Amino acid sequence: MDPDFLLVVIMIITITGISFIGINAIVAKVLDYKREQRAHLAGGSPRSGDIADRTDLIEDRLRVLERLATDRGALLADEIEALRDERATRTKEQEHG
């Protein structure tokens, strides 16, 4: 078999493969776009639910942080001290027990 002919065949196969990969990517993007458009027309994109859930989670965490930072400053310190006292009492009981 002629080496030049083999080289041409390999190049044709390579170019064909690269072309199919490119066409596949274009088709996938078009189908994704059409799917998003259908979901948007149906009342929201599939991502909007995820974004809403994540936003709710972040808001809940923010509320907890605000409560810790503002309302419970002294109370939190008292609770921490009570836990330390409780721990110290338990360790003394274990030493004597």
Residues 6+ apart with CB under 8 A from 36: 45, 46
Calpha distance 50→57 (Å, rounded): 11
Confirm if 70 and 78 have CB atoms less than 8 A apart.
Answer: no
Calpha distance 10→1 (Å, rounded): 13
pLDDT tens over the chain, length 97 residues: 788 999 999 999 999 999 999 999 999 999 999 988 887 777 655 566 678 788 888 888 888 777 767 765 667 777 778 888 888 887 777 777 5
Confirm if 87 and 94 have CB atoms less than 8 A apart.
Answer: no
Q: What pLDDT, on the 0 to 100 scale, is given for residue 45?
A: 55
Q: What pLDDT, on the 0 to 100 scale, is given for residue 12?
A: 93
Confirm if 39 and 46 have CB atoms less than 8 A apart.
Answer: yes
